Amino acid sequence: MLALLIQDPAKINYIEKPAPRPEVDAFGQLEKLASTFHDVDGLFYFTYAVCIFFFVLITGVLVFSCVKYRRKTFDQPPASNTTHNTPLEVVWTVIPLIIVMVMFAWGFAGSIDMTTVPYEASRNAYKASAKQWNWTFSYPNDAAKSYNEVWMRVGKPAQFTLESSDVLHAFYVPAMRVKRDIIPGRFQTVWFTPTDIGEYHLFCAEYCGENHSTMYARVHVVSEADYLKRPWDLWEDDTPEKAVKSAASLYSSLCSTCHSINGAVGVGPTWKGLFVKGPDGKITGKQRDVLVKGEKQTITVDDAYIMESVRSPDAKRAAEFPNGGMAVFPPDQLDDRRLKGIIEFMKSLAEK
């Protein structure tokens, strides 16, 4: 440990492609609300105001006393020896009690709103699959999927069914004020109505291991017209060049958290040098050592090997990564067309 490795900044997609900086709301404390959960902000500022009042009161009395009743000679007696004052004590017990009960009721009512999925939202149901360390989104009535980016219609309530195939994660969109833990083996849901067109951060808010902080997705809230263009399904593979271009963008949103293309050591093996270009321009797979059930073997990289590594990564583990740990991508999350595109992209990296 303590390898003092400098992170390669290009690998983190929110730094590579920063989202527009979110606006701050009128009071300057919270990010501008982009959903209909006004109660969160209302109660936040109410509580905030109460806190400032009591803070000023406490600090004021304290500082005033320290100045006024400062001990000047070593035997100075106190100005008063009062040990209690029952009416005062009742007042400062009952008034805070009333205030916190208001906060409790307000917060509880607000949370009921946030956990009760309205019918309209349940008719507009997305699925968010979380795994170390990326997001896969499925759309309502649409077979296509998107990775680490999701598009939503403005003004339309939406529900997300959340599932995890490995450890705990949490679905957190600060601008929408929603957060929900994702627990393997359980289905969780969250809903909200995006009210403003724009791009928003979606964070994983529950610690999930090494690249927890790069498990990031972007929420695009778009108009109805833009939504109908199905921007999540822009995939062209008519020609190998187009396939490589589409796959390069898929690589940067999906694979780059673990696999570098410049030879840097990541969570998984780099893609650099998987294929080599011969003097005749022919691209061939390189030899590499893999572990099959712990036994070392040498194989030649080819399409079938890459396919197997994506569909069942533990069948042949790269020898430098004996612990494995790559997430499985079954066909319903990454179809064969896209996987072939990815392989084309890998081949396009080949050097002489």
When asked if residue 168 is in the footprint of another protein (CB under 8 A), the reply is: yes
- The C-alpha atoms of residue 341 and residue 132 are separated, in whole angstroms, by 22
Angle between the 38-68 and 86-115 helix axes, to the nearest 10 degrees?
160
User: Is residue 175 a contact partner of residue 192, using CB atoms and an 8 Å limit?
Assistant: no
Identify the residue among 36, 197, 199, 201 touching another protein (CB under 8 A): 201
Q: Which stretch binds another protein (CB under 8 A): 33-41, 144-152, 227-235, 338-346?
A: 33-41
Q: Which stretch binds another protein (CB under 8 A): 134-142, 175-183, 221-229, 268-276?
A: 175-183
When asked if residue 223 is in the footprint of another protein (CB under 8 A), the reply is: no
* Smallest separation (angstroms) from another protein to the CB of 98: 11
When asked if residue 334 is in the footprint of another protein (CB under 8 A), the reply is: no
Identify the residue among 130, 152, 170, 339 touching another protein (CB under 8 A): 170
Residues 117-156 that bind another protein (CB under 8 A): none
Per rule CB under 8 A, count of chain residues that contact another protein: 104
Q: What mask of x and - would describe binding to another protein in positions 275 to 314, judged by CB under 8 A?
A: -------------------------------------x-x
- The C-alpha atoms of residue 26 and residue 292 are separated, in whole angstroms, by 60
Residues 158, 161, 164, 168, CA torsion sign: positive
Q: Which stretch binds another protein (CB under 8 A): 44-52, 239-247, 268-276, 281-289?
A: 44-52
Of residues 148, 143, 190, 183, the one with CA closest to residue 167: 183
Place of tokens 């066909």: 331
Between 215 and 346, name the residue whose CB sits nearer to another protein: 215
Identify the residue among 30, 217, 221, 306 touching another protein (CB under 8 A): 30
Find the angle CA(17)-CA(23)-CA(24) to the nearest 5 degrees: 135
Torsion of CA 285, 286, 291, 292, to 10 degrees: 30
Between 180 and 347, name the residue whose CB sits nearer to another protein: 180
Beta-bridged to residue 297, according to DSSP, are 290
When asked if residue 83 is in the footprint of another protein (CB under 8 A), the reply is: yes
Q: Which stretch binds another protein (CB under 8 A): 71-79, 191-199, 239-247, 271-279?
A: 71-79
What count of Cα atoms within 13 Å lies in the side-chain half-sphere of residue 50? 14
- 34, exposed or middle or buried, with CB in 10 Å at 0-12, 13-18, 19+? buried
Residues 250-279 that bind another protein (CB under 8 A): none
Torsion of CA 132, 134, 137, 143, to 10 degrees: -90
Beta-bridged to residue 317, according to DSSP, are 291
Q: Which stretch binds another protein (CB under 8 A): 100-108, 245-253, 303-311, 342-350?
A: 100-108
Between 80 and 239, name the residue whose CB sits nearer to another protein: 80
Q: Which stretch binds another protein (CB under 8 A): 87-95, 121-129, 149-157, 297-305?
A: 87-95
* Smallest separation (angstroms) from another protein to the CB of 189: 9
* Smallest separation (angstroms) from another protein to the CB of 255: 16
Element at 216 (helix H, strand E): strand 216-222
